[in-house]
Chain A
């Protein structure tokens, strides 16, 4: 078990290094920090001076090492566009994105799971067909369109919810939360539905497909042959086996949600990291791009690790507990 954890940790570190490498390559070869910092007119001496200060005349690997060292401490330099430290910018917006993502994920699970189970168990009922058709439309609807439609219907037409912004937030230390104010909560509704809808349809279809697979297995057949009640077969046996792969995929989807937040934040002008990232792409603001990449990669890797550990805890076959199989 320990060996497993160590191995996964090492893998994670390797992935992070690879990502850092890409980010660093971005920095050195694509941007020209000196021109940005010094403006249009500068002399060769100025360039040489700044170069030495920033360590840009050092060999590649030394620079990379410095980059990694800085990155680990959260220092990604200054944003080209806003001339502020990148980590400050990211930290300011992190709570907004995380809160939105968590609520969206919660929503997707809360509705998607039961729907998936229902359509898996009642494969041919008309209600299942309705849900499936709606889910197919959901998969074909791009997130931004959902956002626009929701804004149009609920903001412009009936004006129940605000169409942009986070509403009032409360500052708890360095974290700003929208959970504690009414306007904050109201502002969360439309964006989190937009963000969560895609995941919801994904979860529903996944759970359904898994459920149908499981219901075809021999152990379910044997459970029925033993006369177990429908409830025991469906919810005791089938559901548990269905949930194991679903947990992992859902966990991985959390990472996707954080990334998809980019779109939702843009539509709703939600002041989160995603919105910042889009603007940095448009303006070729390399430090912000690189930093966002590293941060998101870190989230993914961390989530992957947690999910793997969870899998390990839930599926007894993975526990290398080779008891003596005592004769035949």
Chain B
């Protein structure tokens, strides 16, 4: 016999009840892998965020470093020091702490560049889709051209330009912002295209036309009316983009054109530690590498799950 829904004459459920009962949350609950990924992400993010307060040592306080502590292996290998769980590098810095600080920088650049790309891309997409005409054509042409180049190349180029324009010291000081700019500028296109497509569709719907008839200002129309309806796919792109941004930043830093060793991200750490790989001190490079992969992987898993959960066609009920 068919099942029946609860009587609809009762009051509508509240927001939290609706979230907990939604299909999206259901698919979340049903996938232990996704829950694990979410947990790992949470741990990594909070560990990185709170680094200055919860890291066991401060690796950038030069005064606290002791060369006698240098090159100690991780705790489960002999000749180690229980104060340094994951070992130390050749200057006596605690690897675990440097990872936490490094992850902090990596995440900072990652989030900031994603937000930058999102704001830029969504705005351009809305304008492009709504205004149409020559504006649309120009923006989309630029987007197309940029899209045919891989993001890393764009990021490298922008970084190179800025590097050539400023002196070395100035560049190092502003390396963080330069990085955010480079990585953000290389990823705005996908947001713009998706939002433009959705805007084109929404533009012709009645609620938009009704609002125009009332005389709602176009900017208000774009951001209060159309934007909420096109934001879904944007979130999915943003999550997947976050992992890409983290990896791109790490790559740039590894190549030596990202964050300098004075304020390292995980990529810089891997680069610096690479020299010691050959001499057997593998922990200086491998642990930052693992941290990087772990973060990127969890964010990717979340992004994958989000995309599948928001796509009604792929839903499989088991």
> Are A and B in direct contact (Cβ within 8 Å)?
yes
Is there an interface contact between A281 and B257, defined as CB atoms closer than 8 Å? yes
Number of A-B residue pairs with CB-CB distance less than 8 Å in the complex they form: 101
**Residues of A120-148 contacting chain B, CB below 8 A:** 136-137, 139-145, 148
Q: Does B270 contact A (CB under 8 A)?
A: yes
Chain A interface, DSSP helix/strand/loop, else mixed: helix
* Chain B 152-190 near chain A by CB (<8 Å), digits 1 or 0: 110011011101110000000000000000000000000
Bound-state Cα–Cα, A286 to B161, Å: 8
Chain B interface, DSSP helix/strand/loop, else mixed: helix
Pick the residue among B150, B157, B165, B250 that contacts A142 (CB under 8 A): B250
**Residues of A135-173 contacting chain B, CB below 8 A:** 136-137, 139-145, 148-149, 151-152, 156
Is there an interface contact between A139 and B293, defined as CB atoms closer than 8 Å? no
Which single residue of chain A is at the shortest CB-CB distance from B165? A30
Q: Does A67 contact B (CB under 8 A)?
A: no
Query: Is the interface on chain A under 10, 10 to 19, 20 to 34, or 35 or more residues?
Result: 35 or more
Is there an interface contact between B285 and A284, defined as CB atoms closer than 8 Å? no
List the A side residues contacting B255 at CB < 8 Å: 144, 262-263, 266, 278
Q: A137-B297, A145-B293 are in contact. Are A30 and B274 (CB under 8 A)?
A: no
* Chain B 132-158 near chain A by CB (<8 Å), digits 1 or 0: 000000000000010011101100110
Min CB gap B129→A, angstroms: 23
Most B Cβ at <10 Å: residue of A141, A145, A262:
A145
Is there an interface contact between B285 and A281, defined as CB atoms closer than 8 Å? no
Is there an interface contact between A136 and B297, defined as CB atoms closer than 8 Å? yes
Is there an interface contact between A140 and B153, defined as CB atoms closer than 8 Å? no
Is there an interface contact between B153 and A281, defined as CB atoms closer than 8 Å? no
Q: Does B292 contact A (CB under 8 A)?
A: yes
**Residues of A1-44 contacting chain B, CB below 8 A:** 15, 18, 26, 30-31
Is there an interface contact between B150 and A281, defined as CB atoms closer than 8 Å? no
Is there an interface contact between A137 and B293, defined as CB atoms closer than 8 Å? yes
List the B side residues contacting A286 at CB < 8 Å: 164
Q: Does A309 contact B (CB under 8 A)?
A: no
| Stretch from A97-105, A251-259, A311-319 at the B interface | A251-259
Bound-state Cα–Cα, A144 to B257, Å: 14
Which single residue of chain B is at the shortest CB-CB distance from A293? B157
Is there an interface contact between A140 and B257, defined as CB atoms closer than 8 Å? no
Is there an interface contact between B243 and A262, defined as CB atoms closer than 8 Å? no
Is there an interface contact between A148 and B153, defined as CB atoms closer than 8 Å? no
**Residues of A64-82 contacting chain B, CB below 8 A:** none
Bound-state Cα–Cα, A50 to B278, Å: 49
Is there an interface contact between A30 and B164, defined as CB atoms closer than 8 Å? yes
Interface residues of A (CB under 8 A from B): 15, 18, 26, 30-31, 136-137, 139-145, 148-149, 151-152, 156, 252, 255-256, 259-260, 262-263, 266, 277-278, 280-282, 284, 286, 289, 293, 296-297, 300-301, 304
With A145-B270, A282-B163 given, can you name 16 additional A-B contacts, CB distance below 8 Å? A26-B161, A30-B161, A30-B165, A140-B293, A140-B300, A141-B296, A142-B250, A143-B251, A144-B251, A148-B270, A151-B277, A156-B277, A255-B150, A278-B257, A289-B164, A300-B149
